[in-house]
Chain A
Amino acid sequence: MFPDFDYVRPQSLQAAITHLADEAAVVHAGGTDLLGCLREHIFAVKKVVSISAVKELHGIDEAADGALRIGALTTIRTVAEHPLVRRRFSGLAQSASEVASPQLRNQGTIGGNICQKPRCWYYRGDFNCLRKGGGTCFAVDGENQFHCIFGGGGTCFIVHPSDIAPCLVALNATARVAGPSGVREVPLEKFFMRPEVDVQHETVLEPREIVTQILVPPPAAGTRSAYRKVRARRSWDFALAGVALALRFDGRRVVEGRVVLSGAAPVPWRSAEVEQTIRGKELDSDVIAAAAKAAVAEAEPLGKNGYKIPLFQGVIEEELARMSASA
């Protein structure tokens, strides 16, 4: 059952930002996450401001410097299938193609994907948890098999649900954001809110701010990217464990790389441990095994998600081996 809300679908970004000044007004892009949240009454909504008719937020193109510009309303399917993305940012295309189901990829947008709400069943269910302003994270002592092994910070133990966000962080992408006081750019790495900083927000967006564009810088020569996701079913399911890689090779040697885990933490989780272990090395089996071990050395599993430790180790080993084989 949906709550009652006003609905408006302005044609311009300015009008959308103006409408968002109203009490409990929220952005609607593809609606695939928002409508689920409305149905479960997770947060109060009095006005739905649809940005789907704002033309300038659609589409993918290449900037003069070779950066990829993805409008926030670009569908996940378009990100997965676009020739520019597939050719130069294969990890991003791969991650988009592994999101949800075909219908949801046809409808969900990249902006909505990085702004989506957590999938924790306490948060989505009838529990007044920390993230909803209550006093307890029910996952700590509850059914926590799908919760985080990093970054819970003693507060809220969600995992970030997005497959695309870890790839954007690995590729050093930036979100362009428009709000009542103008336009700013936020690196994706700083876009997601850690629960110990603010447990009730998933992003650093201010009230009334709208993500307008994702900018992915041109990859340096020798860079390859990939995304690997493990889930219970091959459709619909969120990542149990996943890894996004953007590695720059010189011959067979990794010059530098960014390694970001999904299904691991409340935000896309950059693994400094893996990055340090592989920097300057050829990815032989010793280095790969050391990297996979380092990845989980600092993990703090909860009662029921200890299986994620060998799972992440395996996923990281396999994906690094795959990259090294294609080097």
Chain B
Amino acid sequence: MPRKNPTTGPDGLTRRGFLTSMGTGAIGVAASADLFAAGKEAVDPQVMPAGRTSKVVLRINGETHVVLAEPRWTLLYVLREVIGLTGAKPGCERGECGACTVLIDGVARYACLTLAAEAQGSEVTTLEGLMDGETLGPVQTAFAEADAFQCGYCTPGQIMAVEGLLRTNPNPSAEEIRRGASGNLCRCGAYKHIFEAAHRAAELKRGK
């Protein structure tokens, strides 16, 4: 899979010769209205400038990571290329495959559509965070036991989606499992085993 490095490459701003009128400031800064009663203090000074790295503090798998990141770097990129956690996979990078699924504050989200800066202040859990030392966690064990993959590329995302599902619904029905895993594509078509793994994972988590 070709990796796009967001630090280099053509500057997209020059590709299109037009501006949308969104935010072009037609109305000007000086505004009336009570909204501005708070005055200058209302403007948070912490702007991360374009094209430069700034300090970003992330909580990942229970640890604090202080990294330097550009505003446009996604959480997926920072996890993989800056921190070296390669569990979350780049697939489509547009929210259409689920390979990049991580938990943010306990719910499954796409790391490819999350800016790293946006994840500040949240607890991020990646595939690596489901390990107990060198031992697989229950959802990982269930996927291995159920042989729930062929090539395995989608597997980390599938596991994180199931983990997210089981955290809110410890005993899902077959239909709830299908729905819970419906944000993750498997190009190999291992769905039957993935659903079985999810079922087994629920049992393992409940201590059966």
Residues of A within 8 A of B (CB): 1-15, 17-26, 28, 31-32, 35-36, 38-39, 41-50, 52-53, 77, 100-104, 106-107, 128, 132-133, 178-183, 200-201, 206-208, 234-236
CB-defined contacts of B33 to chain A, threshold 8 Å:
180-182
Cross-chain contact B110 with A9 (CB below 8 angstroms): no
Distance to closest chain B CB from A312 (angstroms)? 25
- Can you name 12 A-B residue pairings with CB atoms under 8 Å? A3-B11, A8-B48, A10-B43, A17-B31, A22-B25, A31-B115, A31-B118, A35-B113, A35-B114, A101-B183, A103-B101, A181-B32
CB-defined contacts of B192 to chain A, threshold 8 Å:
none
* B67 contacts the other chain (CB 8 A): no
* B85 contacts the other chain (CB 8 A): no
Kindly list 17 other residue pairs between chains A and B, CB separation below 8 angstroms, not including A1-B9, A7-B115, A102-B180: A4-B50, A6-B47, A9-B118, A10-B43, A12-B38, A14-B38, A22-B23, A41-B16, A43-B22, A50-B118, A101-B95, A132-B18, A181-B31, A181-B32, A182-B34, A207-B25, A236-B182
Cross-chain contact A7 with B47 (CB below 8 angstroms): yes
Residues of B within 8 A of A (CB): 4, 6, 9-13, 15-16, 18-29, 31-38, 42-44, 46-51, 70-72, 74, 93-96, 98, 101, 104, 107-110, 112-115, 117-118, 120-121, 161, 164-165, 179-180, 182-183
CB-defined contacts of A100 to chain B, threshold 8 Å:
95, 183
CB-defined contacts of A43 to chain B, threshold 8 Å:
16, 18-20, 22
Distance to closest chain A CB from B169 (angstroms)? 11
Name the residue on B nearest A18 (C-beta).
Answer: B43
Cross-chain contact A46 with B50 (CB below 8 angstroms): yes
CB-defined contacts of A106 to chain B, threshold 8 Å:
107-109, 164
Name the residue on A nearest B73 (C-beta).
Answer: A2
Once the chains are docked, how many angstroms separate the CA of A181 from the CA of B13?
30
Contacts A26-B22, A201-B21 hold; do A21 and B29 have CB atoms under 8 A apart?
A: yes
Once the chains are docked, how many angstroms separate the CA of A268 from the CA of B91?
32
Distance to closest chain A CB from B129 (angstroms)? 17
Once the chains are docked, how many angstroms separate the CA of A41 from the CA of B72?
13
- Point out the residue from B9, B13, B29 that lies within 8 Å of A44, measured CB to CB: B13
Distance to closest chain A CB from B29 (angstroms)? 5
Cross-chain contact B28 with A15 (CB below 8 angstroms): no
Once the chains are docked, how many angstroms separate the CA of A200 from the CA of B43?
30
CB-defined contacts of A15 to chain B, threshold 8 Å:
42-44
Distance to closest chain B CB from A130 (angstroms)? 12
Once the chains are docked, how many angstroms separate the CA of A183 from the CA of B51?
35
| List of 3 A-B pairs having minimum Cβ-Cβ separation, nearest first | A101-B183, A7-B71, A3-B12
Once the chains are docked, how many angstroms separate the CA of A48 from the CA of B50?
10
Cross-chain contact B18 with A44 (CB below 8 angstroms): yes
Distance to closest chain B CB from A172 (angstroms)? 27
Once the chains are docked, how many angstroms separate the CA of A22 from the CA of B50?
14
- Point out the residue from A1, A10, A26 that lies within 8 Å of B44, measured CB to CB: A10
Contacts A2-B6, A25-B23 hold; do A9 and B117 have CB atoms under 8 A apart?
A: yes
CB-defined contacts of A103 to chain B, threshold 8 Å:
95, 98, 101, 108-110, 161, 183
Name the residue on B nearest A181 (C-beta).
Answer: B33
Cross-chain contact B117 with A102 (CB below 8 angstroms): no
CB-defined contacts of B101 to chain A, threshold 8 Å:
103
Once the chains are docked, how many angstroms separate the CA of A220 from the CA of B200?
46
Cross-chain contact B23 with A7 (CB below 8 angstroms): no
Once the chains are docked, how many angstroms separate the CA of A179 from the CA of B29?
11
Once the chains are docked, how many angstroms separate the CA of A20 from the CA of B72?
18
Once the chains are docked, how many angstroms separate the CA of A22 from the CA of B15?
21
Once the chains are docked, how many angstroms separate the CA of A6 from the CA of B110?
22
Cross-chain contact B29 with A24 (CB below 8 angstroms): no
Cross-chain contact A13 with B35 (CB below 8 angstroms): yes
CB-defined contacts of A17 to chain B, threshold 8 Å:
31, 35
Once the chains are docked, how many angstroms separate the CA of A13 from the CA of B95?
28
